[in-house]
A and B are shown apart, each in its own frame.
Chain A
Amino acid sequence: VLTQSPDTLPLSPGERATLSCRASQSVSANYLAWYQQKPGQGPRLLIYGATSRATGIPDRFSGSGSGADFTLTISGLEPDDFAVYYCQQYGSSPLTFGGGTKVEI
């Protein structure tokens, strides 16, 4: 089970966002991904392998952590970053997602 916190994160443009994802057991090989989803759209991959940015993702997005405790940091929020963020573990079956964190203005 992946638990994301907080459920909602009210912030302003330019501020730093820190999102947490905790697993009920260690994630195998740190196979942890982060996705961004906006209303009416499919999710977009941001981070994989806990720390690697996906192609085309700005460097204000960074992932950290290992074992069962992971963090997504967005340094300097831009208006386009206000969305829902999900973590996913793909180290063991079933692949599972966290409940999401909504970053809102």
Chain B
Amino acid sequence: SAVISQKPSRDICQRGTSLTIQCQVDSQVTMMFWYRQQPGQSLTLIATANQGSEATYESGFVIDKFPISRPNLTFSTLTVSNMSPEDSSIYLCSVELQGNTGELFFGEGSRLTVL
């Protein structure tokens, strides 16, 4: 298994500002994923962040809005830029310890509220 720590756990932000979410894993992993979970909704994949390469973004998500860093095998950040109330959501970091198994381990999420 994996232990994933996310910071901040929650924050209230002003429109137009940016916030960076950190994800720390207790073991080295290749595959890291960032998901968004809007209130009462399912999880939507934002991007896949693999160490040593640029993040791969899903349709509807762009690097300028959600820049991602993956400096090593245990850490990643997701920035939500120029926030609007529509960005209010829970952002989840997840990892897959073994490739092609689908067994994801999740952090507890970062709940952002944009005023």
The answer to whether A and B assemble together is: no
